[in-house]
Structure 1
Amino acid sequence: MAVKARLILEDGTVFEGKSFGATGESFGEVVFNTGITGYQEVLSDPSYCGQIVTMTYPMIGNYGISRDDFESLRPFVHGFVVREHCEVPNNWRSEQTIDDLLKEYNIPGISEVDTRKLTRIIRQHGTLKGIITTSEEPVEAILAKMNQPLMEDQVARVSTKNMFPVPGRGPRIALVDFGAKYGILRELTNRGCDVIVVPYNVTADEIRRIRPDGILLSNGPGDPKSVPQAIEMIQNILGEYPLFGICLGHQLFALACGADTEKLKFGHRGGNHPVKELATGRTHITSQNHGYTVNIESVASTDLEISHVALNDGTVEGLSHKTHSAFSVQYHPEAAPGPYDSNYLFDRFLENVATFVKEDKKSCRA
């Protein structure tokens, strides 16, 4: 017999549906993702830590779960909302169902929700606090529980606790893990990089000790201003090594250079966001997952230049430093899920690394 579940929003809106995954109760920020496929990568993206994710595509779960499609060791979402939950996946790669995966990690899901209505509410009012529950408590009692603040320590929860190497024969890259997806590590190792993954709270001196050739600031969850130690580290290291920032790493790079960030009304989450590269005039279709953005007016007073803009709303999607070998993008060039239009940015970063290393060796000989 199906267990009933409810999604209750902080404005008092109640969605009733069927429970799948874990039973019980979970609190988080309710957001939506417009991806047609890639639900496993969404579930396992650490950037969703603390959030209840609504999938706008109507059927979710039809190709199951595969060990090869995870973007981290486990799911980090606080809840999963779908229109139709496919209980019997049909794909030769499938090894378990979404239901099994969510039960394994005690994450509640709710199906048979009008996800179009829910998405319209979020687009109109902005992201909202919400609770998925299988209890029969009165709505008023559930709403009282939402007086608590949203999580602010997501990066500390998802980042590695210790440095570890992913050996390669190429340039040594320090990957600062704010919640890094496997896709980023995969792109670096595919290019032969010798990667050292370091925690979010690594200091500039600790990075210097591992003698990297370049630094990559990863994606991650939450408000960039909640990670002040990372901003300080970037300020201390900027100019010493080529730097590339992705998503949260992009926002932290901007803050370190004197720009400001602000929360978007409902964020960008999906695999079909058009971004214009200003230098070439080309438009790239990008994978995105973020709730904060760099304030466009704040960039003018810094040594940064805007390199990419979102065509949907004009927000900042890329930055480059005027004097240092450093750039960043708000979107995900590693995709997973999404298009690979922007994969070339990893090559651009490594070209910067190669040039920097070459010039450094010249100065040493001189």
Structure 2
Amino acid sequence: MEVLRPPLININGRIYRKNPVQEETYEEEEEDYSYSEAAVDQCLDEPCDAHNIEQTDRGFRCALDVPSVLYKYIIGKKGETRRRLESETKTSINIPKQGVEGQIVVTGAHRPSVSSAVTRIEVLIDSFRRKQPFTHFLSFALNHAQVREGFLRFREEVLEHCSQDSGVDVSIFQNPDKLHLTIGTLVLLNQQEVTRANELLHQCQDTIREITGAEALPVEVRGVEYMNDDPSMVDVLYAKVSVQDGSDRLQQISDRLVECFVSAGLMERERDRVKIHATVMNTLFRRDPSAEDREAPARANPRDREAFNGKNILQMFRDFYFGAFELNSVQISQRFSTDSSGYYSSAGHITFS
């Protein structure tokens, strides 16, 4: 079936077929940026006009916008990757100095050679980009005064009634100033990519306003739920968020945003629909208070977290009312940042009304 329906990868909004080739692994802990022939041979059957290749007096040229933090993956250990790419494609690859934002320029005597080199570079960059930690995320801020007060009351009552339960302590509660819904995560590695994401978000504004009727969305935060199968071994406890009129408009907005960013190649789809939830307790916070809501606890090393017994919390606070307010914006939040209000710094936002 992989021959009939091969996996697809999205690179800069272009879709490539990923041929069934055994890939080599990279030992990241040894900083191995070596060339993987299997990895770059996966997409070489694509048409040569997929790239913006210019004809010059000396042949052909194509410039690629690549964040400087990814140059090392094209250069490789002691320049091995670049030399091998140049040798196999009969091209020349010019890379700016490390730390200098610019363009990687590929030149060659023949258009197919330049196209082949560019495709290989893009596949390598995509492979290593997927291994970078996310830098930004689309979010709905939930730190409205009423919800924040409700959360503080929730924290106080949980600690009063359930602090004797295994793993329950104040360190695993969310920062009340940073209560939010995560729509999806982004890897934006330079200002150009941040600008592109912001422009894309603004392109979504009219679609979002069609869903909301160009008005703020009245939502309420009520009840708690957990993410795994065993309530006695919980890593993430979240509050449920819904539109007060019972509609699925919040879900529609979230799904549309993800669809837009995935189509543009700026986000990876993690599930068919966005899971609408707001983290209120997370065992990642036990060791790192600045840890972000990753949504999928399985991503973290089990050794880095200690689960808590959530049975009593789920029974006593299942329908706990945190508060209600009018949600009127979505923003690109910068990870590990704080603005003047205590929320995440914004790299761009749009409003519903």
* Larger-Rg structure: 2
More strand by proportion, 1 or 2?
1
- Note whether the superposition's TM-score is higher than 0.5: no
Q: TM-score, normalised on structure 1?
A: 0.25
User: Which structure has more RCO (C-alpha within 8 Å, separation ≥ 6)?
Assistant: 2
More helix by proportion, 1 or 2?
2
Q: TM-score, normalised on structure 2?
A: 0.25
